[in-house]
Amino acid sequence: MKLFLTSLLAAVLVVPAMSSFAAGEAPAAAVAVAAVAVTKPDLVKGEASFNAVCVSCHGVGGNSGTPVNPKLAQQHPEYLVKQLQEFKSGKRKNAVMQGFASALSDDDMKNIAYWATSQKAKPGFAKDKELVALGERIYRGGISDRQVPACAGCHSPNGAGIPSQYPRLGGQHSEYLATQLTSFRDGIRKNNLQMTQVAAKLNDREIRALADYVAGLR
């Protein structure tokens, strides 16, 4: 009886490992993935890396004061990591950002992203009263006759976005937002098919209106 129980226990332990191997999962890779999953970001290192590499363009605390450079404070960390990885790989084209991102390890990216997320974003402001009403209509209701969905459905009514899926937009510089929407529309930025399809249906005035409205969200 004792021998039978010992054999049964061995089978229980061995079969899952064999099944994983048969499915093409390398045990070492599985261990590595598990290790990454439990690794916590180091905010101290993240702050140091940000201040050494990012602050000149993205501002103290991730609050860029330059309209062409995005605010990073309070952005979802998963989104920031994804963008850094895609700058590094060249999937998202930007010569300056590719140069910086290429020098960062995965841990560096995670540390910087989570530190930036922990910083309080400064509010932004809408500037064009004539356009902001149009921007609000599109953001909240879309454009039905062109099948443009409401931006609020993915980025939330106040622009906070949905963590790990859709980025925070509220308070972002309108100039930066307009540039990104135009880049999606014109096929310059190619790292998000959904945004390319939406922006393709917008004209310049609608893009400016959306960007201005979103800048004032909080």
**pLDDT tens digits for 66-75?**
999 999 999 9
Residue 30 lies in a domain: no
For position 39, what pLDDT does the model report? 84
Residue 25 lies in a domain: no
Residues 104 and 147 grouped into a single domain? no
75-93 in b/e burial notation, b at 16+ Cβ within 10 A?
bbbbbbbbbbbbbbeeebe
CA atoms of 62 and 106, how far apart (whole Å): 19
Judge whether residue 60 has pLDDT over 60.
yes
For 127-143, how does the pLDDT look when each residue is reduced to its tens digit (9 = 90+)? 998 899 999 999 999 99
Residue 160 lies in a domain: yes
Assigned token pair, 38:
């439990």
How many domains would you assign to the chain? 2
The domain spanning residue 97 has which CATH number?
A: 1.10.760.10
Confidence of residue 125 (pLDDT cuts 50, 70, 90): very high
CA atoms of 196 and 198, how far apart (whole Å): 6
For position 103, what pLDDT does the model report? 96
Residue 124 lies in a domain: no
Q: Which domain holds residue 187?
A: 129-215
Residue 17 lies in a domain: no
